[in-house]
Amino acid sequence: MAAKKFNHLTDVDTAQVAGIGRDIAIRHGKEMEQAADYILLGSLSYITREKDIDSAEELQKDVDDSVKNYSVKARLLDFVGKNWDVIKDFSNAAGQKELKAVSQYLDPAELNYRSCENSTPYELSMLGTKILDLNAEDTLLEHCAGIGGFLAVVAAEKQVARAIGIEYNRENQVVANVRAFIANNAFEVEQGDVLTQDYKGLEANKVFSHPPMGVRRAGVSEKLYPRLKERLARTRPSQRLDWEYTLSALCSQREGGKTVVVVPDGMLFSIGRDIMLRKQLTDEGRLEAVISLPSGILAGTGVKISLLVFSENNWNVNMVDASEMGVRMKGRTKLSLADIDQIVFWYGQKSDSEHNKIVDLGQMEQKDYTWMPSAYFRGKLSVLENPEKLGDLAEVCRGGNIKSSQLEDWASDEPTEYQYIMLKHIENNEVSDNLPYLKEIDEKHQKSLLQAGDLLISRTAPFKVAIMPETGTKVLANGNLYYLRFKSDKVNPTYAMMFLNSERGRQALDAFSKGMTLSMLSLKDLADIEIPVISMEKQREMVKQYEELSKKLRQIRTQENAVMEKMTVLMNGCGRR
């Protein structure tokens, strides 16, 4: 399969060109029903311009003669019949180079369509292609191929023995094969389910996967193919299928190959079964590298992503922090070719640098097998505006270390002037309204009484952060909680909470935590964490917006609870007279 060099197409602003097509469609009273229709429009307009076609009948005959895949042929013929006037005008309005770029490289998510799960942007595709180090002897398999963005880039950049994609959605599969047709059938995409069908038989030595994130499919856990089910046998099933998709890609790889998977960052540090799976793959030597990417790579979503690179016999893991790379443009982060080459360079390093760290299995065990690169860059955190340490801004204290037997003696079934707060009483960045009451608190623990406005932070991961509200009682903090009492008028406590709950704040909490079996933050390390101290006016503005949004969210939750109660009553009445 010969590769086609389309590097000259990468400087085309495909979203802008597709926007011209959208304007033309609107003028004709047409509307592209799906984001992927712009791939069809660009492809057919490219054929029309390249072959100087003048009528719908001529274009349909060309498609009928040259396209072998029946589903692709039917989709294109139907599109021509409905949109010939748009195709013709678009072929005249844009150049041949621009039209081909749209057909191969357009990320429909950039057109403000909300769905990104079927589209892999050019930069991510190029980065995956370079990390896989593809060559003419490779058999490449892509799981969750979507509309073929990754395979189109591979066809343009590399020569491989065979490139095949698997896609669950029929419409996406057809659009991907339209791209394959424009790329001289350099790849093929089959319809299939990578969770219930085993593709090890394809003998792929290179595998790429950009699966839908956070997706739930009822009943799929029972239908997993045997080898994948065995991989997950010792873990508790989850409603979210991120790990199922990741392990399926790994199961499809031939021995001695390499697999690259795009994952949400939550998989890298969350607890429960995630720790078991991370430990298992780390101890097996399968994890080669983790590459933390900048936020905004995927248009239309705030999901932070990383690349997992799997191979064999890896007893050291390269943690790459590329989170500050790229430039923010049009609502997403763009990586230049130079940025991509720099990330690939860090990935290939065998020793530490400012942006990568070689971590051994012992270090990973100490961090509870977190795969978050920032956890291993203690001194390498995001650059902050006017940073100051929490310990310089607030009194940092730990709650009272009270025996459970003592709490049982103090417990009261009736309201009193004393209450008690534990880790479980903090959810969704808020303190519960139903704190337990105590009959008394001894003098020793009076110093651990909280005040309204204290910033609460859990000692252990996953870290919970909240502001202590006014309760009208004396509230004793549990020993698993830290509280910060700000002594400086430079910081609004709610602003500090907002930062610590942000991506950069979480990065700092993860970086300063440590532990063999449970990731824990020490009092000293908490005091050393820095936050950006911006003007008080700006802080107040941000806090006001946050509190307004929080109020709306509470109202929505109240409405949701009321609806759920009504549904429960309705369901409980099933079968009753």
User: 81: which 2 tokens?
Assistant: 């019949």
CATH number at residue 276: 3.40.50.150
Q: What 3-state DSSP class applies to 167? A: strand
Q: Which amino acid is at 362?
A: G
Is residue 557 one of the residues assigned to a domain? yes
Q: What's the pLDDT score for residue 271?
A: 67
CATH number at residue 522: 3.90.220.20
Distance CA 449, CA 517 (A): 30
Q: Number of structural domains, the chain?
A: 4
* Alpha carbon distances (Å) from 150 to 142, 145, 244, 360, 442: 8, 7, 21, 32, 65
How would you list the strands of the sheet with 188-191, edge to edge? 188-191, 162-167, 139-143, 204-209, 253-264, 305-310, 287-292, 316-321, 356-360
Distance CA 406, CA 385 (A): 45
Determine how β-strand 204-209 pairs with β-strand 188-191.
unpaired
Asked whether residue 224 falls in the same domain as residue 275, the answer is yes
Q: What 3-state DSSP class applies to 358? A: strand
CB neighbours (10 Å) of residue 400? Answer: 20
Asked whether residue 269 falls in the same domain as residue 136, the answer is yes
Could you report the per-residue pLDDT of 359-379, keeping only the tens digit for each? 999 989 887 788 989 888 765
Of the candidates 386, 248, 376, which has an alpha carbon nearest to the alpha carbon of residue 320? 376
Is residue 1 one of the residues assigned to a domain? no
Distance CA 353, CA 501 (A): 28
Is residue 147 one of the residues assigned to a domain? yes
Asked whether residue 157 falls in the same domain as residue 240, the answer is yes
**Residue ending a domain, choose from 350, 375, 400:** 375
Q: Diameter of the chain by CA atoms?
A: 92
Is residue 4 one of the residues assigned to a domain? no
Asked whether residue 162 falls in the same domain as residue 291, the answer is yes
Taking each helix axis from N to C end, the angle separating 493-500 and 503-512, rounded to the nearest 10 degrees, works out to 80
Asked whether residue 345 falls in the same domain as residue 400, the answer is no
Distance CA 125, CA 108 (A): 15
Q: What 3-state DSSP class applies to 517? A: coil
**Residue ending a domain, choose from 86, 110, 134:** 110
Is residue 577 one of the residues assigned to a domain? no
Asked whether residue 172 falls in the same domain as residue 218, the answer is yes
**Residue ending a domain, choose from 375, 396, 422:** 375
Distance CA 543, CA 538 (A): 9
Q: What's the pLDDT score for residue 180?
A: 93
Is residue 116 one of the residues assigned to a domain? no
* pTM for this predicted structure: 0.70
Asked whether residue 219 falls in the same domain as residue 348, the answer is yes
Is residue 323 one of the residues assigned to a domain? yes
Could you report the per-residue pLDDT of 160-190, keeping only the tens digit for each? 999 999 999 999 999 999 999 999 999 999 9
Distance CA 523, CA 420 (A): 21
CB neighbours (10 Å) of residue 73? Answer: 20
Q: Which amino acid is at 530?
A: E
Asked whether residue 425 falls in the same domain as residue 393, the answer is yes
Q: What's the pLDDT score for residue 567?
A: 84
Give, for all 577 residues of the chain, the pLDDT tens digit.
444 444 466 777 888 898 899 999 999 998 887 778 899 999 999 999 999 999 999 999 999 999 999 999 999 999 999 999 999 999 999 999 999 999 988 887 777 654 445 688 889 999 999 999 999 999 999 999 999 999 999 998 888 999 999 999 999 999 999 999 999 999 999 999 999 999 999 999 999 999 988 777 777 878 899 999 888 877 766 667 899 999 999 999 999 999 999 998 888 877 677 888 999 999 999 999 999 998 888 876 667 899 999 999 999 999 999 988 998 877 778 899 999 999 999 999 999 998 999 999 998 988 778 898 988 876 555 667 889 999 999 999 999 888 888 888 899 999 999 999 999 999 888 999 999 999 999 888 898 999 999 999 999 877 899 999 999 999 999 999 999 999 878 999 999 999 998 878 887 887 777 654 456 888 988 998 999 999 999 999 999 999 999 899 889 888 988 888 888 888 887 766 6
Range of the domain at 291: 122-375
Asked whether residue 363 falls in the same domain as residue 245, the answer is yes
- The rounded Cα 265 to chain-centroid distance in angstroms is 5
Asked whether residue 88 falls in the same domain as residue 136, the answer is no
8 Å CB contact between 222 and 237: no
Of the candidates 294, 290, 323, 322, which has an alpha carbon nearest to the alpha carbon of residue 309? 290
Q: What's the pLDDT score for residue 302?
A: 66
Asked whether residue 214 falls in the same domain as residue 90, the answer is no
Asked whether residue 324 falls in the same domain as residue 391, the answer is no
378 backbone dihedrals φ, ψ, rounded to 5°: -55, -40
Is residue 229 one of the residues assigned to a domain? yes
